[in-house]
């Protein structure tokens, strides 16, 4: 049985640790564990914006974490900036500048879907500021690839025609293509989406493999969503001991994992 002196010492240690944000969890006298306050940067996919992380961010903030959910240039609250001049470099720079201007260090950097492109590019510049990277049903591009290279021939032709006409963005699709489970969530996503900047699809990405130098690497796959590229990334993660691979049950989530299963995704992010 813990005596009064031991109880006071344990309680004091737990309070001090919480105040200082120590790296290691500290067990309190009651047996609970104080989690370290982390910093999360959540990067959205095509047609989406920072809004799609609303419920994941709320869950993480409730547990005391610092969370950034930027919208990339030309999308969501920045949709008034949509322009043919927006390139993949623009979106990479969005992520890099957030880290630099907010003095972000030791972060968990999360990418969803298209977000894997700017996140992969940004890691080339801010990889030393990232403790963990998580790809959530996201692209993992190779050096020299373009976004359009991962799309069908029909899509590529349509994109080239749109660019030739000087169109700045790809029209918003039906939210049903993301396999969102609840009708009310599909309606919410549909109401928020904005055109995806077309120019991001044609610039080759420049990578040297910086992602592999991040200490913790995780791939989360929405297994019920059909996407051959994501299947390959997931298989590669499962075969690589330096990666962690997590599959989401189709009954739990479609492609928009942060919409269908925000609490489960937040829990995953707290344990990477």
35: confidence class by pLDDT, cuts 50, 70, 90: low
Tell me the mean pLDDT in the region 19-24. Answer: 36
Question: Which residue in this structure is represented by tokens 């994941």?
Answer: 56
**Domain chopping of the chain, boundaries:** 1-36, 37-269
Instruction: Report CA-CA distances (Å) from 30 to 12, 19, 37, 61, 62.
Output: 12, 18, 20, 23, 21
Residue 162, pLDDT score: 82
pLDDT at 97: 98
DSSP strand pairing (216-222 vs 130-136): parallel
Query: What pLDDT was estimated at residue 107?
Result: 98
- The active-site residue out of 59, 113, 132, 253 is 113
| pLDDT of 25 over the 50 cut | no
In the chain, helix, strand, coil percent, each to 5? 45, 15, 35
Q: What CATH number belongs to 37-269?
A: 3.40.50.1820
Q: Is 47 left (phi over 0), alpha (psi -120 to 50) or beta?
A: left
The average pLDDT across 228-246 equals 98
DSSP single-letter state for residue 72: P
Q: Is the pTM of this model over 0.95?
A: no
pLDDT of residue 168: 95
- pLDDT tens string 108-134: 999 999 999 999 999 999 999 999 999
Indicate if 15 belongs to the active site. Answer: no
Q: What residues does 143 pair with on adjacent strands?
A: none
Model confidence pLDDT, tens digit, residues 169-227: 999 999 999 999 999 999 999 999 999 999 999 999 999 999 999 999 999 999 999 99
Residues 55, 249, 117, CA angle at the centre, nearest 5°? 60
- Strand 107-112 and strand 66-68: pairing? unpaired
Element (H, E) at 59: helix 54-62
**pLDDT tens readout for residues 48-68:** 999 999 999 999 999 999 999
């Amino acid at each position: 049985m813990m005596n009064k002196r031991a109880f006071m010492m344990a309680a004091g240690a737990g309070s001090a640790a919480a105040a200082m944000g120590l790296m290691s969890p500290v067990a309190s006298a009651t047996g609970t564990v104080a989690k370290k306050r982390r910093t999360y940067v959540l990067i959205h996919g095509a047609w989406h914006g920072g809004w799609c992380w609303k419920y994941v961010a709320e869950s993480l903030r409730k547990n005391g974490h610092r969370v950034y959910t930027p919208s990339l240039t030309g999308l969501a609250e920045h949709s008034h900036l949509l322009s043919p001049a927006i390139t993949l470099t623009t979106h990479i720079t969005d992520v890099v500048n957030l880290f630099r201007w907010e003095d972000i260090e030791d972060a968990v950097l999360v990418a969803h879907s298209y977000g894997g492109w700017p996140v992969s590019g940004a890691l080339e510049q801010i990889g030393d500021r990232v403790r963990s990277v998580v790809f959530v049903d996201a692209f993992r591009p190779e050096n020299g690839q373009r976004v359009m290279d991962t799309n069908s021939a029909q899509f590529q032709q349509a994109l080239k025609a749109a660019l030739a006409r000087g169109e700045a963005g790809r029209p918003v699709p039906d939210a049903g293509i993301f396999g969102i489970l609840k009708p009310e969530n599909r309606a919410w996503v549909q109401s928020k989406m904005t055109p995806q900047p077309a120019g991001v699809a044609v610039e080759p990405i420049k990578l040297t493999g910086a992602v592999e130098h991040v200490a913790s690497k995780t791939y989360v796959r929405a297994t019920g969503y059909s996407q051959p590229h994501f299947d390959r990334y997931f298989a590669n993660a499962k075969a690589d001991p330096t990666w962690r691979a997590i599959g989401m049950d189709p009954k739990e989530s479609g492609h928009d994992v942060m919409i269908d299963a925000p609490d489960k995704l937040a829990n995953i992010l707290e344990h990477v």
